[in-house]
Amino acid sequence: MQPPSVTEFHPRSVDSPAPVALPREGEIELSVVMPCLNEVRTVGVCVQKALACLREHGIAGEVIVADNGSTDGSRELAASLGARVVPVPIRGYGAALAAGIAAARGQFVVMADSDDSYDLGNLTPFLERLRAGDDLVMGNRFRGGIAEGAMPPLHRYFGNPGLTFLGRLFFRSRCKDFYCGQRGFRRDAIRALDLQSTGMEFALEMLVKSTMTGLKVSEVPIKLAKDGRDRPPHLRSWRDGWRSLRFYLIFSPKWLFFYPGLLLMMLGLLGVAFLLPGRRHALGVNLDVHTLLYCAAATIVGFQLVSFAVFGKMLAIATGLHPRNPKIERLCNSIPLEWGLISGLVLILAGVVTTILAVTRWAGTEFGNLDPFSVMRFVVPAVLCLILGCQVFFSSFYFSLLQVQCRKLRGS
């Protein structure tokens, strides 16, 4: 499946497709959702800017502050200025956003932080793309401009570009600012993704699942200003950087398991084939049965990782963590249990035969002393075949259990 295109859009230079039908009189078109936790210094300014923008452009809209347990008067201030405050008892950036989105009444939603770092007085670029038919419109701070001191150098030059690169690589996305906190989307399209994260991964999950399900994603340049807080931000660079990487790996069995496993298995099998006939001289050193043993171990670990990739993908689809993929479901359901069982038995038989050959060779010496290296050239491949055979045989039953769940999902 080709990745959905991501358009970089500037409202004054690119013609938009025909707009979709605007809401009828009395309906809300746009909901502005802001998570909040003790932002009394800035939440009022953000609410005022968003409401002024809605009035200035004649947009039927509302401003929602999803309060995550503020104790500094943030919620009272926001409500007094005209925002609808939604209390969110579950702590977390994602939990607050999810509650705010669920409470939104607009056809479209623009989300942004309540620290006055995003320009809530300029919502029209997002709304124009949404009216044109896009499902998710990402802000791009690197194209729009980052004010001095608005983003720490570690984030600006290393963390954000590096993790965005990995996100683009893992999920075939063309977005260039994965971590922008200001974005707009069709409320129904995003709610259908069934986002699960309650922390900072919520925004990543939104973009990743949108890309995986083929939603139409675009980007607009936005400006990032220095926030108005008088305290450190909730973000923790190294902790949240690791959480991002962990999220990428969990959401991509292909990169976590399949590619490393396939590489290990190929290198291991090549090493076994290279060293099985006898001692070899390569890279300036003598390689013998000790290296052969490590190559066999690499083959076994590689096979396990590839198995985890298959099981992980099927399980992710069956549980709703990943969107459904008809091609993968058809492929997995077309492999009968008997194929795996027969393959496992063949490998086990090969291991047994090789073991018999080793014992026969030993018996030729009347079970006396024998060159250990000579025996190991039979023992290592025998053990390799026995272990792989058992893994294939019993993994086939687990694979069959996952097939049942995938068929159930397919029939639903």
Q: 163 with 178: CB under 8 angstroms?
A: yes
| Entry pTM | 0.80
Please give, one letter per residue, the 3-state secondary structure of the chain: CCCCCEEECCCCCCCCCCCCCCCCCCCCCEEEEEEECCCCCCHHHHHHHHHHHHHHCCCCEEEEEEECCCCCCHHHHHHHCCCEEEECCCCCHHHHHHHHHHHCCCCEEEECCCCCCECCCCCHHHHHHHHCCCCEEEEEHHHHCECCCCCCHHHHHHHHHHHHHHHHHHHCCCCCCCCCCCEEEEHHHHHCCCCCCCCCHHHHHHHHHHHHCCCCEEEEECCECCCCCCCCCCCCHHHHHHHHHHHHHHHCHHHHHHHHHHHHHHHHHHHHHHHCCCCEEECCEEECHHHHHHHHHHHHHHHHHHHHHHHHHHHHHHHCCCCCCHHHHHHHHCCCHHHHHHHHHHHHHHHHHHHHHHHHHHHCCCCCCCCHHHHHHHHHHHHHHHHHHHHHHHHHHHHHHHHHHHHHHHHC
pLDDT of residue 98: 96
Cα 323–chain centre separation: 12
CA distance 232 to 228: 11
Cα 89–chain centre separation: 26
Q: Which residues pair with 140 in a beta bridge?
A: 221
* Average pLDDT per consecutive 10 residues, the chain (412 residues; last block may be shorter): 41 36 67 94 95 95 95 94 95 94 96 94 96 96 92 90 94 93 96 90 94 94 87 73 91 94 96 86 79 94 94 82 76 82 95 88 64 77 94 91 71 52
- Residue ranges of domains in the chain, CATH in brackets: 6-251 (3.90.550.10), 253-411 (no CATH)
